[in-house]
Amino acid sequence: GEDVEQSLFLSVREGDSSVINCTYTDSSSTYLYWYKQEPGAGLQLLTYIFSNMDMKQDQRLTVLLNKKDKHLSLRIADTQTGDSAIYFCAEKSGANNLFFGTGTRLTVIP
Amino acid sequence: GAVVSQHPSWVICKSGTSVKIECRSLDFQATTMFWYRQFPKQSLMLMATSNEGSKATYEQGVEKDKFLINHASLTLSTLTVTSAHPEDSSFYICSASWGRTGGFGYQPQHFGDGTRLSIL
């Protein structure tokens, strides 16, 4: 079955860039997503990338996809304290179901 | 756009009680709704998927008689935890998509804010 892995924790200083990594095993993934979860809340869709793209930029967010290595990353430029949250990558292959990674807890140090 | 409202946000009740959680898509028609369960500091575990007007499809290990799902309209799905026990205490999150299960293309899931269920 599908397996999506992320590192559990990341700490950065305010103003620095954050890079959150994700690896997946399903080579037939069509779309890959990044979601943000703040404490006690649901998931907020941040961005997505289609599997035939290498990069997508949306304001402070840059998504890089290496399909050969099945590696996805999310870069947050100029990280702010409000970016502290858990970030989930998710992949979709064919059917509408999403398979979520384990989540990376980002802590921004003022 | 694409707002999903989940209600209630927090429930505390006695063991043996049945609890109903509602998930509404406010500004779009949700052809498909998903119910997830999240344990502390863990990822989301998909419980079931429902297409409007059809019976829900449950993931392996999820008791359909325990977790009743109704998706009677394009804007509302409900999850009823029947005869809840302390081990059912968890964070339940719904999501909604305008795509039908099995469909291709960009059909993101939009999530509610979750319901924290505590069974005493």
pLDDT tens per residue, range B61-81: 999 999 999 988 889 999 999
Helix and strand element counts for chain B (H, E): 0, 11
In the predicted structure, residue B56 carries a pLDDT above the cut 70: yes
pLDDT value of residue B1: 66
In the predicted structure, residue A1 carries a pLDDT above the cut 70: no
DSSP A31-79: EEEEEEE-TTS-EEEEEEEETT-SEEEETTEEEEEETTTTEEEEEESS-
Residue B96 CB neighbour total at 10 angstroms = 30
In whole angstroms, how far apart are CA A15 and each of A11, A21, A83, B71?
A: 12, 19, 11, 45
Cβ within 8 Å of residue A92, ≥6 positions away? A29, A30, A31, A32, A33, A98, A99, B107
Q: Does A48 touch chain B (CB under 8 A)?
A: yes
In the predicted structure, residue A73 carries a pLDDT above the cut 80: yes
Q: How confident is the model at residue B102 (pLDDT cuts 50, 70, 90)?
A: very low
- Mean pLDDT for chain B? 89
Contact A96 B112 (CB under 8 A): no
Partners of A9 in beta bridges: A105
Q: Does B63 touch chain A (CB under 8 A)?
A: no
Q: By the 8 A CB rule, do B97 and A96 touch?
A: yes
In the predicted structure, residue B47 carries a pLDDT above the cut 50: yes
For A43, which of B102, B103, B111 is closest by C-beta distance?
Answer: B111
CA-based nearest distance B54→chain A, Å = 15
CA-based nearest distance B43→chain A, Å = 5
Chain B CB contacts of A33 below 8 Å? 108
CA-based nearest distance B93→chain A, Å = 7
In whole angstroms, how far apart are CA B33 and each of B9, B23, B97, B111?
A: 18, 9, 6, 10
Structure tokens at B58: 């449950």
Place of tokens 């990674």: A101
Structure tokens at B64: 């359909």
Q: Does A101 touch chain B (CB under 8 A)?
A: yes
Q: How far apart are CA A70 and CA B14, in angstroms?
A: 46
